[in-house]
Every structure is written in C-alpha cells, then in structure tokens.
Structure 1
Amino acid sequence: MSQPVAEYDYIVVGAGSSGCVLAARLSEDPGCRVLLIEAGGSEKRAIVSMPLAWFEAMKTPGIGWGYLSEPEPHCDDRRIPAPRGKLIGGCSSINGMMYSRGHPGDYDQWAQMGARGWSHDEVLPYFRKSESNWRGPSEHHGGDGPITVARHASDSVVYPALLATAQKRGWKQLGDFHGEDSEGWSAPDFTVHRGRRASPAARMLRPAMARANLTVITHALTHRIVIDKGRATGVVYERDGQLQTVNAAGEVIVSAGAFNSPHLLMLSGIGPGDALREHGIDVVCDLPGVGANLQDHASIGMVHKASGAFSFDRELRLDRFALSLLRWQLFGTGPAGGLPVGAQGFLRTREGLDRPDLQLLINPLAMDSRLWFPGWRARKGDYLSLSAVLLHPESRGRVALKSADPRAKPAIHLNLLATDGDRASFRRFIRFTRDFLADTPASDLIDHEVVPGPDVRSDVEIDAFVRQRIGTAMHPTSSCAMGTGAMAVVDPQLRVRGVEGLRVVDCSVMPTIPGGNTNAPAIMIAEKAADMIRHGQAAAIAA
C-alpha cells in the first residue's frame, strides 16, 4: 500500500541565504505549513562558524558543489572555480561574511529596467528589517533585526597608512559604506555575532526550526518541479536513493542560487525550448531567458612583499593559533573570531561614471598563508594581498544543461573578459592600484611587488596576466532575471512567467549585478519576497 503524499502550503527548494530567510519568515504564520529542502547537510561545524576559517570552509569538498566553469574562451580556456555551498546556509555558510549592499543607483537601475517596486527607496526597508547593525537604528540601518552586522577591528599599521594615502589623494574616509555616501575608503562590516558567523542559517533558520509548522529536509536533491495544467503543484526529490514527491497547496519557491535555480527550472521543462528538447525534456514553458544573463564580479589578485613583520602571518604560528583557538572556543574573541582585512575602497577609476566601478580590498597576509612553526613548517612571510573587483561587468554568461540527469552538474559559462570594456577595466585597475601604493604612506608598507611583478607593464603583458589569473568574487547573479521583456524569467513579484504557483527567490532574479557583495542583497530579496507572498495570500483570503 503506497504512502500518502505529504502536502505543505509552501515548498522552498534550497537552504541558502534566501531560502533560510524565506522559510523562517513564512513559518512565522502558524497557519502555514512550510517545507525547506536542502541538498546538503548541517552547517554546525567549527570550520563554518569560525570567521577566520572561511577560506578553508570554501575549499572543503564535503560542503560544496565542486563547480567549475566550462573552458573560458577569453581566459586562456581555463576552467575557473565557482564555489557554492552545499549545506544549510548555502554560500552564507562558506563566504567571507562581508556586509555590503552595493550602490543605491544599482537598485534604481533595476526599477528603470522594469523591476517595479525594486528601487533603492523601496528595498531599503528590507535591508533594515534583517539587520542588527552595530551603529544602532537609523534611516540607513536596522537595530533589532536577526542578522548581526559587526564592526571590524582595524589593525594599527596597515589601515592607518592606507586611509592616510586615500585622503591625501582626495578620497573620502567613510564611517559607513551605506550612509549618505557610498564612495570612498573604510573598513568593511561583517556578519559576525559574538565571534561566530552570523549567517541566515544561524540567526534565522535555526531559531525558526523550533516551530512545529516548519519542516527542514537535508541531503535531499530536488529532481524536478511537478507542473500540472500550467501550475506548480509540488516537487520530486531524491533522498537515500529513493524518489519522493511532496505537494504544495500554495506555491513552490526555488531558492537554489544563480547556478542551480535555472538548472532546476530547465530540468522541469521551463527554459529555452530547443535546448530542452535536445536533452529529451518535454517543454512545459518556453522561456529563453532561463540561464541567460549570468553575471559575476570578475576579480584579479595582486601580491606585495611587506616591508616589515606587521602582517597577520605572525598570528598563524602554531602555538599562537592554538591559544587563539582556545580563546575563541571559550569566549568568541581574538583573531579566530575576526577576519584579517586591512581596508576597502569603492572607487571610480575614470571620468563619466555615476557610481564606483572598482572594489579594492587590501589584506595584510598572503591568500595561501598557512599554519607554521620553526622546525615543522616554514613561515610564508609578510605580504599584502589585494583584490581588484570589477563591480559592473559588461560580459554576460549563461547556465545550460549538460544532461537531463538531475545529478549531472550544469554547464557554467561565466564568459569573463568577453568585452573590450572589461579588459580595459583591468588594465586600468592594475595601474590605478600601483599608482596608489606608490604614494606615501602606503608605499612605506611595501618592499616590492610579487604578483604580477614589476616587469608586467604594457597592455599586452597586463592582458596576458589577467587572462591567466582572473577569477571571480563568487557573486553569481541574474540567470533568472526579473523584468518585463522577452528575456525576463520572473515578474517583479518574482513569479515565473507562464507558470502559476512558482517563484524564484535568490540572486538569480537580479536584472543586473549590484556593485558590492551579494549576501546582504540575497537576504533583502527574501525579506521582500516573504512580504509579497504573505500579502498575496491575505488578499486571496479576503477575496
């Protein structure tokens, strides 16, 4: 005798930043039955909760999807890593915890492109709703939200020298990247609560899991959305080798991220018709924009040998780190409970721009630094690492099917450096950074440039270096973009065009990538979506 099919009011696929927020908010209504399905497992492990360990968490195979791009035609045909978290919290459980929203003009641009209701003034209340900012409540920030936004403790050598150089060269020192002005230099804020990662999983989903009306299923790979007569009625997922179906009385909400959300839609027959038919998938809704318009922040690294022993590498001596780890475990304080960041700038590097095009992040250590101890492992040494991030790329990529098998990875075409404008931006960034670091007092921090090295000077040499070393800031967006045109996948209510009872709620709905890190916007999108869904439900009941 077959088991009855379970039914919920809302099924959320994907427990990343957006999915955690959405499940937590929807389950605030005790009359709603909410199911959250996650392909990975628990986030409750030290490598996730310890801020200093984020880079190791990002590289840990057991908690990631292991994605690589397809060979990149403008990057020497390299396959570029595209880390994505496969665990509760998704990428918010493996990211660098930087709190950044982008520029207000980014959201006004969305509204101008047809995403009505998504201008900066309209999304600001949802940024404020989610955060408990160290500055307290204001017109720019929330003071009692679930996500802790903590102040970064700057060092006494690198930060002052960088800020003095910036001010000398006419840049503002900002007390807040999200205040009256968004352009200038400061230390970033981080989503850290008492020395531990303050992800949507830790701060929103875990408390919500005590509610009887919220069910969370882990280690469950969603195969497809069930669509009956043009309406999403449930999902089929695989767990422990068995396929199971669950029904949705209200809506199915896909929050699987910029790679997995379009992948799941295509597996379910929603996407570019010809491509689906090539894989033997019946076309339910021919939407050519599914998987198109993929954007990410291309990023290049530079490395300089420091002029003295003031870098964070000293904290990685094994005995010091052991004491730091104990301090963190007992009190949540010390180096293990923070991140070694020098300073950050959001800057315009050429005339004619209405907002910053460069995010420059300078850290007082080498990115391949590791634990060391005399007689055991050699010390890496004192370095400054720089990341120059292109905030508004012209290049567009796509996510495509490789197979109709849900277990097969999607084909990720980042298509970095596809335009002359993007290539010119990185030439400008490298020269801009060199010029900045050649000025005092920043120059006092530098012994010599290691990567790319002083011999890389001409356009041809810089272009070759960038092709060989370019990566991303791991902020993929826009592959299920909202809007009103033929390539729009969702409308401004985040409803999938042509299919009832189905929404996408994550960074894939962004029409364009914002000029900053994407975790805070992912949370904002889910906060706004939860209000829209609950408002729609209330309106339906009233009718």
Structure 2
Amino acid sequence: METFDYVVVGAGSAGCVGARRLSDDPAVRVLLLEAGAQARGFWTRVPAGMGKMFSANPFNWGYTTEPVAGLNGRSLFWPRGKTLGGSSAINGMVFTRGNRQDYDNWARAGNAGWSWDEVLPHFKALEDNQRGGNEVRGAGGPLRISDPALRSPVVDQFIRAAQQLGVPLVEDLSVRGVEGVGILQASIHNGKRQSTYDAYLEPVRGRSNLVIRTVSHVTRVVLADRVAVGVEVMEGGQRRTIDAGREVVLCAGALNSPQLLMHSGIGDGDQLRSHGIPVALHLPGVGKNLQDHLSVNVKVRTRPGVSHNRHLNGWRKYREGVRYLMAKNGYLACGATLAAAFTRSHAGVDYADLELGFRPISFSYSPSGQVTVDDIDAVSVAVFACRPASRGEVRLASSDPLQQPVLIPNYFDDPADLEAMLAGIRQIRELLRTQPIAASIEAELLPGPQATSDEQLTEFIRNTGKTSFHVCGTCRMGSDPMAVVDPQLRVHGIARLRVIDASIMPTVTSGNTNAPTIMIGEKGAALLKRFPPND
C-alpha cells in the first residue's frame, strides 16, 4: 500500500495550487489525483477555443441539472473541467476577484482571516500581472494575467457609454474589488490559455516529492474512527487504497467535493441511509448552499465591421488561424468578455450586485452546451445577479460513486434574483442606446424590441438563462450547525480532512469565480501549513 504525506484530490483551479505549495517543502511527499486525462489538442490552449471546451468533450464532466421550475422546467448543461487544471482549463479565462465587501462579509459572518485585507496578499501572490505590481496588482506570481490581445473600438465605446450613465471608470477593474466599468483582464499569456496546471505545476512536474496521476477517480475518503487516513481510487477498472500520513485535501470542486464527502459517509444522515451508505458523521450542510450566477444575453446587430464575428466565420477564420499559428495574436488569442460594468440594480443595495459583461462577439447556444459564433455582425452583453439569494443543493443519485450527482440549482427560488436580472436587462438597453456605442448598433436581436413588459422579459430570462459556470458554496465555511468546514478549511468533526476549493465559499463572489478559487488554493495551502489538523 502506498503512503504519501498529503493526498490532494482534484487537479483543478485550487488543487494544482495546493499541490504546488505543499510540494514546495521537499521534506513532504504529495500525491495529486485527477479523474480526467491531460488536455491535449490545438483548441485546449487557444483562447477562442473556449466554446469547444464548454461543450461535451473528454475534458469536461458535462453534467446536467435537474429540471428547474424557475426556468420553465428546463435542465441546464453544466460544464466542469475534468483534466489537469480543472475548470481553469475549459473556462472563459476572465480574471476578476469580486468585490472587497464580499470577503469582509465572509469575515463578519465568523470566518476570521478571510476579510479583503487578509486575502489580498494571497491574490497578489498568485499573479504576474502584465501591468506590473502595485498596491493591488501582483507581480512575479505563477499565473500570468494580461489585457486583451485586441482592443477593438466598440469595446471602448461600451466603456465610454457606461461612463456617460455615471458608472465610474476603474483602471484596475479586474483586481481592485470595486464597482465601475473597465477592461477585463484574463488568464492568457503570449496568446495561450493559462490554466492553473500550466502556471503552477508544469514548471515543477519533475519534483521527486510530487506525484501526479491522471485518470485516477477517487471514490471515497477512507476513515478510521472519524479520522481521514487515505482515499479509495478507481484506476484501470480496479479499486485500491492509498494512505495519507498527514492529511487528505479535497479540491474536487463545488459539485464533486460534496459528492465525495457523502460517499464517504459524511453528510445528511437521512439521505445517506436512503442510499445504503453507512453514516460516519451527520453533517447536514454537505451539498447545501449551492449558488451560481445565471446569465442572459442581450444581443444586437451592429454596423458591418464592428463585431469580431466576421473574423471567426467563413474564409476569414482560416486567415485568423494562420495569424495565430505564426504570431499567437489576433482574434483567436482573445477571450470573449473583454470589458464589464459592475453596477447596482437599485439604489437600496449596499454595493454593486450586477455584472454587465461586454462581448464584441455573439454566440448561439444549444441545450447540449455547444457554442457557435453567429454568422452575422453582432455583439452581446451578458448580465448576471452577482449575489443571488436563491440556494440549491447537490444530492446523491445512488450509492455508486461513479454516477453523476443530482444537481438542483433552484434558480429564482427567491424573487429578488429575478428582479435584479430585469433591472440588468433594462440597464443594458439604456447603455446600448447611449453614445458613442449607439452609433454602432442597428437593431436589438434578443430579447427583441417586442419584449417591453416585465412579463415578456421574465419569459425571456426563464427560457434563455444559462449558467455562468460559477457554482460554489456546497461545503460552506463557518461555525454554525450547517457549516461544513471551519475557517482553517478543516472538515467539522473529521480529523485530518480539509476542503480547499470553491465549495467553501459562504456566498458567491461578485464576479467571475476562477480568480477567487485560485486564491482559496493559495490561502488554503498556507492555512494547512500554519494550522495543524484537528486530530
């Protein structure tokens, strides 16, 4: 039987970070286990290939939710990374930290050490910002953060129109943690996607104290008298056990970490018993508190030449392919969302609760997750409510750890979320009617000029809303009976077991969640070294 000091489960946005930081100590042996294979192929590194990575492919779990009442009974396709780098290897690469008040609220809720001022050093440590370091930006860290490879005039028109409506310009919008409008930075370097595997682990892959195994599916944590002593894995169709001499660290993500806990007998006792799983610890919060950003797109037709679409269709896409291969720049070197405005849905909210993400491009989406660039001149603006009040749940489908969990998003269970989205659509429309961007727009395509009432816009939201890929919160940090981990990310009631990934967020951050998840990996590894396991 193999023994390592630390067994890290999941080589995703946080797991790659944790494995790197733990293995920085040559005196410890670290095993990193990933259920997927290493992502290979042209589109896995090309920023514009994200649409292909979102849809069903070997590097994507390709989950599907239960039918959602708030979405007129639709089930949603939920992409999640199943490869080295996890979701950072298939996402839209947008790098935003969220609002500083998000973290201050975590600390005020009883999570000491998680305020903005306390997480900021970890944010700065993870990044090497193209703009250089300052009081909020990091320089010299593993992850390269860059401005868009192209900054077409319509992007600046969006920013200036928002300013005309009173939204302040913020130069460091991605990292400063305040509301405003500006350019969004991305985890792209020299025209290539930067996953956390690329940034953190590939440079140290040869370390003798670090073992990385792919296509190794962890099925449960092995417990002895409520002490985590190892993991059970499925490799090549065979189950075996690997010992952890110090700790087991779950970094499997907001859907798979609670699933693993439940298959290990940690969770709501009644649910576990209903599947014939022996209860090691009744911890009812496991899988609860699921949050996500549901987004909708306002799409408008533009004057010819304004949109990026024409460069990614027809004969021009081959020209762009050659340009990318030769110089790693051009339209293929860009993500989709290049600017954003963080605004308030109404005057009564404490801080910005809407993200309006501008794309000089437009897509069409299939129910299976397939994303295709529209063959028309068009741009789009996506909106989501940054701090949804609705809460969903992850449950087990059966006692089979290889079966997809039951995903219950409960979008719009709280009517406040729908009200915020309606406000967001109206803000987008007003912004697109404002100069200078108004001069570039010919007509609204979606929701369309016929949709004017709240009832019509509500149906548009329910019929077209989709995930922003920001699921989190299912192993919530806290000290109350429904919390799963403490502020040091140790699982309550189980010794030598931590969760370090997006599932520990008490509330979702106000923006794209990949950067906060990487920060959680950094801070979680530091906490693991500083605070002993709860033996």
Q: TM-score, normalised by structure 2?
A: 0.96
Q: Does 1:174 align with 2:170?
A: yes
- Partners of 2:219 and 2:190 lie apart in 1 by 38
Residue 340 (structure 1) shift: 4.3
Q: Does 1:393 align with 2:385?
A: no
Q: Which residue of 1 is the match for residue 244 of structure 2?
A: 248
Structure 2 counterpart of 1:440, from 413, 435, 441: 435
Q: Secondary structure at the match of 2:490?
A: coil
Q: Secondary structure at the match of 1:368?
A: strand
Q: In the TM superposition, what whole-angstrom CA distance separates every residue of 1:470-503 from its partner, at most 9, and x where no partner exists?
A: 1121100100000010100000000000000000
Q: Does 1:505 align with 2:476?
A: no
In structure 1, give the amino acid aligned to 2:418.
R
Unmatched runs of 5 consecutive residues or more in structure 2:
367-371
Q: Secondary structure at the match of 2:14?
A: helix
Residue 436 (structure 1) shift: 1.6
In structure 1, give the amino acid aligned to 2:403.
A
In structure 1, give the amino acid aligned to 2:93.
M
* Aligned pairs (5 A) from 1:375-394: 380-394=375-389
Residue 149 (structure 1) shift: 0.6
Q: Which residue of 2 is the match for residue 474 of structure 1?
A: 469
- Partners of 2:213 and 2:176 lie apart in 1 by 43
Q: Which moved more, 1:43-52 or 1:233-242?
A: 43-52
* Aligned pairs (5 A) from 1:27-46: 27-46=23-42
1:312–1:340 contact (8 Å) kept in structure 2: no
- Partners of 2:308 and 2:259 lie apart in 1 by 41
Q: CA RMSD in A?
A: 2.0
In structure 1, give the amino acid aligned to 2:501.
D
Q: Which residue of 2 is the match for residue 323 of structure 1?
A: 319
Q: Does 1:349 align with 2:359?
A: no
Q: Does 1:483 align with 2:478?
A: yes
Q: Secondary structure at the match of 1:246?
A: strand
Q: Does 1:55 align with 2:51?
A: yes
Q: Which moved more, 1:92-101 or 1:341-350?
A: 341-350
Q: Secondary structure at the match of 1:203?
A: helix
Q: Does 1:196 align with 2:192?
A: yes
* Aligned pairs (5 A) from 1:362-381: 362-368=358-364, 380-381=375-376
Residue 423 (structure 1) shift: 1.4
Q: Which residue of 2 is the match for residue 83 of structure 1?
A: 79
Residue 318 (structure 1) shift: 4.4
Q: Which residue of 1 is the match for residue 304 of structure 2?
A: 308
Over 3 Å counting, the alpha-carbon distance change for 1:469 and 1:111 in structure 2 is same
Unmatched runs of 5 consecutive residues or more in structure 1:
371-376
1:11–1:251 contact (8 Å) kept in structure 2: yes
Residue 179 (structure 1) shift: 5.9
Q: Which moved more, 1:307-316 or 1:512-521?
A: 307-316
In structure 2, give the amino acid aligned to 1:536.
F
Q: Which residue of 1 is the match for residue 460 of structure 2?
A: 465
- Partners of 1:85 and 1:378 lie apart in 2 by 22
Q: In the TM superposition, what whole-angstrom CA distance separates every residue of 1:76-105 from its partner, at most 9, and x where no partner exists?
A: 111011110111111000001111000000
Over 3 Å counting, the alpha-carbon distance change for 1:354 and 1:202 in structure 2 is same
- Partners of 2:243 and 2:445 lie apart in 1 by 57
2:393–2:409 contact (8 Å) kept in structure 1: yes
Q: In the TM superposition, what whole-angstrom CA distance separates every residue of 1:116-149 from its partner, at most 9, and x where no partner exists?
A: 1100110000000010011212121111001001
Q: Secondary structure at the match of 1:63?
A: coil
Q: In the TM superposition, what whole-angstrom CA distance separates every residue of 1:248-281 from its partner, at most 9, and x where no partner exists?
A: 0000000000000000000000000000000000
Q: Secondary structure at the match of 1:17?
A: coil
Residue 231 (structure 1) shift: 0.3
1:164–1:441 contact (8 Å) kept in structure 2: yes
1:158–1:342 contact (8 Å) kept in structure 2: no
Over 3 Å counting, the alpha-carbon distance change for 1:341 and 1:224 in structure 2 is closer
- Partners of 2:310 and 2:344 lie apart in 1 by 34
Q: Secondary structure at the match of 1:346?
A: strand
2:94–2:337 contact (8 Å) kept in structure 1: no
In structure 1, give the amino acid aligned to 2:531.
G
In structure 2, give the amino acid aligned to 1:266.
M
- Partners of 1:277 and 1:378 lie apart in 2 by 47
Q: Which residue of 2 is the match for residue 7 of structure 1?
A: 3
1:173–1:186 contact (8 Å) kept in structure 2: yes
